[in-house]
Amino acid sequence: MGYGIRMRVWGDFACFTRPEMKVERVSYDVITPSAARGILESIHWKPAIRWVVDKITVVKPIKFDNIRRNEVKDKMSVSASMIEKAMNEGKAIYLDSNDNRAQRATMLLKNVEYIIEAHFELTEKAGETDTVEKHYNIVLRRLRKGQCFSRPYLGCREFSANFEIVEEERKIDSHYQSTEIDLGWMLWDIDFDRNCKSIFYRPKMVNGEIEVPNLWR
């Protein structure tokens, strides 16, 4: 944990969609570890490293809001034969959003702020030049300059996230001091090496802090 990082993430809106809601989006109460990992990967990621989220602190009170927005109602299913046929005929494969548009409700979070504490581990794809010190210095430089590979977002791409590094060792003042909340079952991450298997865990928020287990081990 000597090479861990601590960063502040905030935004106007967020939606960490519950997978059991099939049609209209309903957000979890707080950010999921997989969403936090996605934010970290948007700042720095290589096949040589894997991010592990250690702790999430919920700074601001949890507030929900409802909106309606346009989404597509169909998924594009493309097979290898369809791709080959389109290439032979010189045609494009696409989904027309104008013909597949549907207005759906979304229950989202507003005015969110989190402190994410995480570290990374070297993977089997790490080469001789891939050292922990090298990648740690890259992450620090990017965070200090506000740089990212792609714009991080809070659950949905339209809800962009602001971020900054937290370098000073200080206690974060959470809205949920002296409270303990059982957040129920929540998506931890998706194992893409095992047919995209969803992994769930049951977090508890104690004094605004959520200790995230490392279930990869």
Parse the chain into domains and list their residue ranges: 5-68+105-211
Q: Which fold has domain 5-68+105-211?
A: Alpha-Beta Plaits (3.30.70)
Report the distance separating Cα 136 and Cα 131, nearest Å: 9
Q: What is the β-pairing status of strands 25-26 and 101-122?
A: parallel
Reported pTM: 0.84
CB 44 within 8 A of CB 149: yes
Specify the pLDDT at position 105.
87
Helix, strand or coil for residue 43?
Answer: helix
Q: At CA 38, angle to CA 193 and CA 189, rounded to 5?
A: 45
- What pLDDT, on the 0 to 100 scale, is given for residue 110? 96
23-62 core/surface letters (b: 16 or more CB in 10 A; e: else) = eebbbbbbbbbbbbbbbbbbbbbbebbbbbbbebbbbbeb
Q: What is the pLDDT of residue 188?
A: 94
User: Going residue by residue through the chain (217 aa), what tens digit of pLDDT does each one get?
Assistant: 457 899 999 999 999 999 888 778 899 999 999 999 999 999 999 999 999 999 999 999 999 999 988 777 666 666 667 777 777 877 777 666 677 777 888 999 999 999 999 999 888 888 888 888 999 999 999 999 999 989 999 999 999 999 999 988 777 788 898 899 999 999 999 888 778 888 999 999 999 999 999 887 6
> Quick one: pLDDT at residue 5?
92
